[in-house]
Every structure is written in structure tokens, then in C-alpha cells.
């Protein structure tokens, strides 16, 4: 058995080593080492099984030899080696499942030896327990193949990474949806350069014709001063851009721009306040100090 211990230990060490030495300088890659490790464990297990079978066989032969030397006849030895199977009470499923024997059979179950007058019944191991036991073996083999040999299943860390990636995607989708749910009541004044830049692009494309390249005013009013026809708070701007002032020539943008885009462009317009562009259009509307509107919108 000394050899066996040695082989078993080697197998275990090879299996464990890759886990310990992920970033070592060994010539073999972690994967190859893993395969060698698992192969070694499998080989050791098979060897173990063979050794068990050989031992079982040896015990049987030895028993025969000892019984023979004790003066047993051939028939007696045969009877001893292959005890007659006791008849089961087939009517009772429960008894069968638990491998229970009726009390009347107790005599047949008694083990010949007694220990200081104490006797034992040779009750068989219940079937459910044996199946549970075999089940664990089958499960273990399946588990090993699935997770460590064919890599069809994901180990904890990989599973964690996959789920985090999925959650990231879900989060992005949720956030983009949430951003698009903004309206004139929930719009917020932000100073995020990304938002301002997006707003600037939208302004260039849609608003320059009437409000001028620097929003200094053209057909439409100057959007950089403190005078507003329809309110200077971010919420007011959102409302004006969303619904427009059709009778005065300001289109509605509800159908053209998404809520997020409207929010971006009005934030860009707010960022222009006080930029004093050349050739500004004369102020229109009532004066609303930026500090006041800022306070109101926050």
C-alpha cells in the first residue's frame, strides 16, 4: 500500500498545484497542467478500483483456503461463500425500500460471532441508501467531466464574470430607457461635458437656422441673454422646445427629437448663458437672472 499512497499523493499534488501556481514561470500552461492533474487523479482512481477488486478476489481465495484447512467439505465451503438469499416480503414496498426484515427472520440474520455475549444482526444496507451512494458517485463523475474536463459548465468565477457582464448590459439598457423618460417636469440642469457636447451637435443640426450659429438670435430670439419669452428655467426651455410656439414660428420638436435629445439641447442652450456672442439680437421677453433660474431649477 505504500506505493499506492505515493501515487495518490502525487496525483493530488498535481491536481492542486495548478490552482496554487497560476502565474508561475513553469513551462507548461495552466490548462495543460490542469489536464495532467485531472488525468492523474482519474488514473489513480482507476488504479484504486483495480486494487480493490484484486483485494476482494484475494480475500475470497484466502477464505476458501482457510475454510479448507479447517476441515470444511467442498459443499460446506460453497454454502459459506454463497449464502442463500433470504426471501423478501414482496408485498410490502416500505419494507423493501428500507430493506427491513420481519422479526421472524431474525435468527437467520444473527451473526455467528458474539462479543462478550452481545450479538449483532447482519441487516443489509437499505436500498435507498445504496442508491444515494451510487448517485453521489455518478454525480461526481458528471461534475468532474462537466466543469473540469470538457469545460461545458462555468466555474464560480467565470459564472460571476458572465453575470456581471449581463448585468452591465441590462444596466445600460435600463439607464438609456430611464434617460429617455425625462420630461419638462423631471429634466435636470447638468454640466456634464458629454451632455453639453451632444446638445451642441443637436443644436448645430436643428436650431442654427433660426437662432444663429452662436444662438445670438436670428428669426428666433437670442438664447444667450437673460431675457426669456417663455421662461428661462431648464423646465421652461424643455417645454418650449418640446411643444414649440407654433403661432410665432418656433416648431415643436417632440416628434423629431427624443426626450433625451431635448434634454441635451436645452442643457447646451443653458450653458451658453452669458456667452455674449457678436451681433446679438435685441433682448425679448422678461429678464430672468441666471442665478435665480438656476436656484429654481435645482
Residue ranges binding ligand HEC (CB under 6 A): 203, 206-207, 209-211, 219-221, 223, 228-230, 237, 240-241, 245, 248-251, 253, 265, 269, 284-285
Q: Cα separation of 225 and 276, whole Å?
A: 7
For residues 243 and 180, the answer to whether their CB atoms sit within 8 Å is no
- Stated length of the chain: 298
**Torsion on CA atoms 61, 64, 67, 69, rounded to nearest 10:** -80
- Taking the complex as a whole, the smallest distance from the CB of residue 230 to ligand HEC amounts, in Å, to 4
Of the pair 27, 246, the CB lying nearest ligand HEC is at 246
Q: How far apart (Å, rounded) are the C-alpha atoms in residues 268 and 199?
A: 5
Output 18 or 220, the one with its CB closest to ligand HEC. Answer: 220
Please state the closest distance from residue 34 (CB atom) to ligand HEC, in A: 60
Cβ atoms of 266 and 237 within 8 Å: the answer is yes
Q: Which single residue is written with the C-alpha cell 416648431?
A: 251
Closest CA to 126 of 103, 104, 94: 94
Residue 241: CB minimum distance to ligand HEC, A:
5
Angstrom distance (rounded) from CA 62 to CA 57: 9
In the complex, minimum distance from the CB of residue 249 to ligand HEC, in angstroms, rounded to a whole number: 4
CB 221 within 8 A of CB 280: no
Measured from the CB atom, the residue of 101 and 270 that comes closer to ligand HEC is 270
Taking the least distance from each CB to ligand HEC, the nearer of 101 and 211 is: 211
Of the pair 48, 227, the CB lying nearest ligand HEC is at: 227
Of 81, 96, 292, 264, nearest in space to 190 by CA: 264
CB of 263 to ligand HEC, least distance (A): 11
Q: Cell numbers at residue 90, please?
A: 414482496
Smallest distance from ligand HEC to CB 161, Å: 42
Nearer to ligand HEC, 74 or 204 (CB): 204
Amino acid at each position: 500500500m505504500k506505493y499506492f499512497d505515493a501515487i495518490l499523493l502525487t496525483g493530488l499534488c498535481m491536481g492542486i498545484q495548478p490552482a496554487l501556481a497560476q502565474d508561475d514561470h513553469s513551462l507548461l500552461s495552466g490548462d495543460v497542467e490542469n489536464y495532467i492533474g485531472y488525468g492523474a487523479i482519474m488514473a489513480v482512481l482507476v488504479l484504486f478500483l483495480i486494487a480493490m477488486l484484486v483485494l476482494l478476489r484475494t480475500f475470497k481465495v484466502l477464505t476458501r483456503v482457510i475454510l479448507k484447512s479447517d476441515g470444511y467439505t467442498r459443499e460446506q465451503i460453497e454454502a459459506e461463500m454463497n449464502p442463500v438469499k433470504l426471501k423478501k416480503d414482496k408485498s410490502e414496498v416500505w419494507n423493501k425500500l428500507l430493506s427491513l426484515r420481519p422479526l421472524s427472520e431474525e435468527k437467520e440474520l444473527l451473526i455467528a460471532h458474539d462479543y462478550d455475549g452481545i450479538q449483532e444482526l447482519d441487516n443489509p444496507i437499505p436500498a435507498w441508501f445504496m442508491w444515494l451512494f451510487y448517485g453521489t458517485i455518478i454525480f461526481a463523475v458528471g461534475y468532474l467531466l462537466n466543469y473540469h474536463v470538457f469545460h461545458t459548465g462555468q466555474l464560480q468565477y467565470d459564472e460571476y464574470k458572465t453575470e456581471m457582464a449581463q448585468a452591465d448590459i441590462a444596466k445600460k439598457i435600463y439607464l438609456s430607457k430611464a434617460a429617455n423618460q425625462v420630461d419638462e417636469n423631471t429634466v435636470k440642469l447638468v454640466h456634464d461635458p458629454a451632455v453639453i457636447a451632444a446638445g451642441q451637435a443637436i443644436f448645430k443640426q436643428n436650431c442654427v437656422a433660426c437662432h444663429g450659429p452662436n444662438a445670438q438670435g436670428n428669426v428666433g430670439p437670442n438664447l444667450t441673454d437673460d431675457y426669456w419669452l417663455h421662461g428661462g428655467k431648464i423646465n421652461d426651455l424643455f417645454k418650449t422646445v418640446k411643444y414649440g410656439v407654433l403661432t410665432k414660428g418656433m416648431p415643436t420638436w417632440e416628434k423629431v427629437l427624443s426626450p433625451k435629445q431635448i434634454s441635451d439641447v436645452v442643457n447646451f442652450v443653458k450653458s451658453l448663458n452669458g456667452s455674449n456672442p457678436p451681433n446679438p439680437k435685441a433682448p425679448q421677453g422678461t429678464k430672468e437672472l441666471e442665478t435665480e433660474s438656476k436656484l429654481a431649477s435645482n
